[in-house]
Structure 1
């Protein structure tokens, strides 16, 4: 049980669960049957666990160098070899579950996971660090629509919303670690832009995602968007404003990342409420 707890803590459980909830919400919005929604959730969760654990396994030496005592692998609670075994097992499980939902869904999920693993393996240290988030989150809505009995790619506006939100997630997630990353040679796009520019771009991404989810289901005519859609749009705009306000008053912290994920959850809830998948 100690190893299981260490692996769970190494998997970035908060974001992993949020992304899984997003998958469930998109599955409901897409009208999936119960069993398909559950398999989709399990596949996405397994994939997220593989990404999180592999990230901490790769970064174990860096985490030790900067004193990240919150990281079980860096603390020695679990070995790197064990972590790699768990990450690979979770990856295989994610792909097998995806195949249950169809080859198209498995293919897109493979691309999304390959993109995320590429970030862990080295893209995080380059100016292209945002690309895996754009690819993985941009393809994310299609995981739900491709899990249907009649699979199809998500609409372009849903793909755009996912992509810009993915960029916002990346730009806010790394902000608290900018100094530690610099000390260990990691210089992704947010490090090159700086904290202030990263926050501004993240807020723009949140607002673009909200606009896409408002306008897309309405066929481009916002006049036809119902009051529920406008209410969710207002809530996400409020999240964007709060992100700017917090960034202006305090040093970059985890709260900015949590607000970005809240915005994504609100947009997914809007799709469920308005049946706008």
Structure 2
């Protein structure tokens, strides 16, 4: 979405958090928690935990990329456009970080560690990996840890649940790679102009963006279908 006029501070702060991906991840993981048999209270905790983590990822992304986004004239980036002060976004990210740590551990010790690992991996993508051919790795790690977050999850600290199945872990990691490619494809031109040579860009320069798009969509749909099938056959927990 391209914004044609300046937004207020509150709206700009919300837009800088990448609300659509944050909402999608929150809904998907909360739904998965519900389908795995978690109680309503546990599902609410999962939702709040995931949302807080996603907010930190979105805000850090826009902070790190603000100069590059300004360079290419990204009108869908409130920080780059100057509609919200970077200090305000940094403060919001810090507050969300202070919340995500206890919220994660409130899902159980192992579940909390898995979720914090997933969030930390996403931060590493923002800070460095997105500029390299290893850009796919943080996505694979973050998504690969999510089955553990769900399988070990419970209400309150301590040990809950059981390890996730290997099939769910591997498929979730592979799905994350597909998500990375689909996220990167719309910004290939801007990334090339600013020297962000992640793996999708490197491949697109060799085979063309349209072809890579079809491959990425087909791959992600196929792996996603396998992930759903595994959830209903093999199951989440060992």
What TM-score range do you get, normalising by the shorter chain? 0.7 to 0.9
Report deviation, 1:215.
Answer: 4.7
Query: Aligned match of 2:154 in 140, 148, 163?
Result: 148
Sort the Cα spacing of 1:41 and 1:18 in 2 relative to 1 into closer, same or farther, 3 A.
same
| Partner residue, 2:4 | none
| Deviation by residue 1:128-148 (Cα, 9 ceiling, x = unmatched) | 000111111111122222213
Sort the Cα spacing of 1:102 and 1:216 in 2 relative to 1 into closer, same or farther, 3 A.
closer
| Equivalent residues of 2:182, 2:216 under 8 A apart | no
Report deviation, 1:204.
Answer: 2.0
| Equivalent residues of 1:138, 1:163 under 8 A apart | yes
Report deviation, 1:31.
Answer: 1.1
| Deviation by residue 1:164-207 (Cα, 9 ceiling, x = unmatched) | 21111110111111111111110100000002235414522431
Report deviation, 1:125.
Answer: 0.5
Report deviation, 1:9.
Answer: 0.3
CA distance in 2, matches of 1:35, 1:23: 14
CA distance in 2, matches of 1:74, 1:68: 7
CA distance in 2, matches of 1:199, 1:147: 36
| Partner residue, 2:215 | 200
| Equivalent residues of 1:133, 1:166 under 8 A apart | yes
| Partner residue, 2:135 | 129
| Equivalent residues of 2:134, 2:199 under 8 A apart | yes
CA RMSD of aligned residues (A): 1.8
Asked if 1:45 corresponds to 2:41, the answer is no
Asked if 1:169 corresponds to 2:157, the answer is no
After TM superposition, list the pairs within 5 Å mapping 1:241-256 onto structure 2: none
Report deviation, 1:32.
Answer: 1.1
| Partner residue, 1:35 | 41
Moved runs in structure 1, 4+ residues, more than 6 A?
Answer: none
For normalisation by structure 2, the TM-score amounts to 0.87
CA distance in 2, matches of 1:216, 1:54: 32
Query: Aligned match of 1:4 in 10, 16, 36?
Result: 10
| Deviation by residue 1:69-96 (Cα, 9 ceiling, x = unmatched) | 1111011111112111111211221111
For normalisation by structure 1, the TM-score amounts to 0.75
CA distance in 2, matches of 1:126, 1:120: 11
CA distance in 2, matches of 1:46, 1:212: 25
Runs (5+) with no aligned partner, structure 1: 220-275
| Partner residue, 1:188 | 198
Matched residue pairs, number? 221
Runs (5+) with no aligned partner, structure 2: 1-6
| Equivalent residues of 1:3, 1:77 under 8 A apart | yes
